A and B are shown apart, each in its own frame.
Chain A
Amino acid sequence: DAKTTQPNSMESNEEEPVHLPCNHSTISGTDYIHWYRQLPSQGPEYVIHGLTSNVNNRMASLAIAEDRKSSTLILHRATLRDAAVYYCILRAGNNAGNMLTFGGGTRLMVKP
């Protein structure tokens, strides 16, 4: 799987929007962009994924650059419960058998 680059950490104030960037300049045409997050002492949980178009769900929005070499996870109003490590992952195709290749992720700290 192609590599992703994320900042090690970011800070946000509660109830403000958060934009978490991810660079993936070597993405291939069949790679999907997945985001997972891991709260303290828990397993990772799925946040959102996309291929080319921007995506929205109840948790977040995903903005994908036109050339697909970068993407941004957007939390519209950060809460204290959003403090977690956020992983940007490229996954070949959409096959259930494809494992996730995690990088170091971005540790998001939310200040009250």
Chain B
Amino acid sequence: GAGVSQSPRYKVAKRGQDVALRCDPISGHVSLFWYQQALGQGPEFLTYFQNEAQLDKSGLPSDRFFAERPEGSVSTLKIQRTQQEDSAVYLCASSTPEGLGSEQFFGPGTRLTVL
């Protein structure tokens, strides 16, 4: 079955450019998470959606980061005026509200390089 997909897989941006990263969660998954993973580190939480509602955005590092999920399915993470410190792998994960453990299913990530 189809898992979580993310696009693009790789993105190179010049400093100051805006970027948009897309996540297609598993069909029917209510919960959607974005994480940022710097090189050699574990992923760090950015934001969480339940359907179209953004319930937690405490991990977004600055107001240059914005995420949306307008129809409760596909989500987009937008980074404005990219900086070199934004270079990282951006991971999306989805899960169902029911089920033991509510395991999160991760996409392959988008590797963002800011020059």
Using a CB–CB distance below 8 Å, which chain A residues touch chain B? 32, 34, 41-46, 49, 85, 87, 94-105
Contact = CB atoms under 8 A, between A and B. Distances in A.
Interface residues of B, number: 31
B82 interface: no
A104 B41 contact: yes
A97 B45 contact: no
B18 interface: no
Contact of B108 (A32, A43, A85): A43
Nearest to B102: A96
Contact of B104 (A41, A42, A46, A105): A46
What 6 pairs between A and B have smallest CB-CB spacing? Answer: A43-B106, A102-B42, A96-B102, A46-B103, A99-B45, A96-B97
Nearest to B111: A41
B91 A49 contact: no
B71 to A, nearest CB: 19
A32 B102 CA distance: 11
A98 to B, nearest CB: 8
Contacts of A34: 101
A104 B56 contact: no
A56 to B, nearest CB: 14
Given A96-B95, A99-B48, A44 B43 contact: yes
A98 B31 CA distance: 10
Contacts of A105: 42
